[in-house]
């Protein structure tokens, strides 16, 4: 049993993933060695290979788990509302809620996937495309309902929204004078102004 696993009641692999998340988030993937991860977990570097194939496997797992959580939460938000404007607001709030839960992991998910090999990058791009499609769908619905401006460029608007959301872990803080919930509402207000019908 590793020191992290013992402290948090995790399996050895869960402890390794947690340690890798901490180190990739703090130091970056290229600056983190297998030896660093082993030291964080409290085992010899060679012992990690009983649980993982290599460092890239850990990065891929962190990224894919993160994308799935965003996808699941935002899909639930989409399905929870009837009209596109309420759906989009709920989706933005859901995205920020996931960021606030694990901002360090979010930075890895959205900014370090480029360190993956070509085949793994392809897998991640496909899933990111699925996530982007959720926002494309709701914007198209809003234009059709006339709750969103008829002249918006859906593709550019989706990329603008996701570009803003993907940088929230850089400035979102639960320690600031404004709560995460209030910041989420303000962010959604700002984004909604750009798409609502005038």
Question: In CATH, what number is assigned to the domain containing residue 82?
Answer: 1.10.357.10
Judge if 159 and 66 occupy the same domain.
yes
Confidence of residue 1 (pLDDT cuts 50, 70, 90): very low
Rounded Cα distance, 28 and 8, in Å: 24
Instruction: Please report whether residue 42 resides in a domain.
Output: yes
Cβ atoms < 10 Å from Cβ of 10? 18
Q: What is the mean pLDDT of residues 160-176?
A: 78
What pLDDT, in 10s, does the model give residues 95-104?
A: 999 998 888 8
In a domain, 169, yes or no: yes
The model's pTM is: 0.85
Q: Which domain holds residue 168?
A: 62-193
- State residue 183's pLDDT score: 80
Query: In the beta sheet, which residues pair with residue 196?
Result: 148
Would you tell me how many other CB atoms lie within 10 Å of the CB of residue 29?
A: 21
40 or 1, which is more confident? 40
Give tens-digit pLDDT for 93-129. Answer: 999 999 988 888 998 998 999 999 999 999 999 999 9
Confidence at residue 188, expressed as pLDDT on a 0 to 100 scale: 84
Do 107 and 153 lie in one domain? The reply is yes
- The pLDDT tens digits for 16-39 are 999 999 999 999 999 999 999 999
């Amino acid at each position: 049993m590793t020191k992290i696993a013992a402290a948090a009641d995790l399996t050895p692999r869960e402890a390794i993933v947690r340690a890798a998340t901490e180190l990739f988030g703090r130091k970056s993937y290229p600056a983190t060695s297998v030896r660093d991860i082993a030291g964080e977990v409290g085992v010899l570097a060679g012992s990690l290979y009983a649980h993982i194939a290599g460092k890239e496997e850990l990065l891929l797992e962190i990224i894919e788990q993160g994308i799935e959580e965003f996808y699941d939460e935002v899909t639930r938000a989409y399905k929870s509302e009837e009209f596109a404007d309420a759906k989009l607001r709920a989706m933005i709030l859901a995205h920020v809620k996931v960021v606030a839960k694990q901002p360090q992991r979010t930075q890895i998910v959205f900014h370090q996937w480029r360190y993956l090999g070509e085949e793994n990058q392809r897998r991640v791009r496909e899933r990111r495309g699925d996530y982007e499609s959720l926002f494309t769908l709701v914007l198209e619905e809003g234009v059709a309902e006339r709750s969103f401006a008829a002249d918006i460029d859906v593709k550019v608007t989706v990329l603008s929204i996701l570009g803003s959301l993907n940088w929230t872990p850089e400035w979102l803080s639960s320690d600031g004078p404004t709560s995460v919930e209030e910041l989420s509402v303000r962010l959604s207000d700002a984004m909604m102004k750009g798409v609502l019908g005038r």
